[in-house]
Amino acid sequence: MAATRSGRFIMGLSAVLMVAAGAILLFVPEQVAAAFHRDAYPRELTSVLAAVYVGMGYGNWLAKGQLIGGIYGRPLCVGNFFHAMVGALALIGALWNGVPSLALLITCAVYALFALLFAWLLLRMPPVVNRL
C-alpha cells in the first residue's frame, strides 16, 4: 500500500526535527540548557536523550513510506503520539511553574502541534488503495 501524502509529510517532518534535536543535544548541551534558563544537565543524560531522539527520528524516516493511520502503522503512531502528548503536557507544566523562555515556548508549541497531528493520524482511517 502506498503512503498518503499527509502521513508521509508528518512522519518526514517529525523525523527531521527529532534527528536535528538529537544532534543539537549531543553536540551543544550547555547552550541548550542556557536557552531554557536551566543549569547544565548531566552530560550522560543529554547523550541518552539525544540517542532517543535520533533513534525515533530514524525510525520515523524509515516508516514515512508506509501507510500510517487507523490500524496501519499503529504502534509507531501511538509511540509518536504519546511522546508528543506527554512532552507537550510536561512543557506546559514547566511554562506554568517556571521562568518562561522563548525556547521553552517554541518547544512546547512544536510538541503540541505534533500531538495533534499524530492524534489525527491515529484516529483517521486512511483511504484504501486498490492495485489491480
Of 42-46, 60-64, 102-106, 109-113, give the lowest mean pLDDT range: 42-46
How much is the pLDDT for 1? 47
Percent of the chain with pLDDT over 70: 91
Average pLDDT over residues 11-25: 95
More confident position, 101 or 112:
112
Q: Is the pLDDT of residue 54 over 60?
A: yes
Q: What is the pTM of this model?
A: 0.85
Distance CA 26, CA 50 (A): 6
Euclidean distance between CA atoms 73 and 81, whole angstroms = 12
**Per-residue cell: 4:** 498518503
Query: What radius of gyration, in Å, describes the C-alpha atoms of the chain?
Result: 16
Burial 63-94 (b: 16+ CB within 10 A, else e): bbeebbbbebbeebbeebbebbbebbeebeeb
Q: Which residue matches cell numbers 523525523?
A: 15
pLDDT recorded at residue 4: 76
Alpha helix positions (H), the chain: 5-27, 29-35, 43-63, 74-97, 102-123
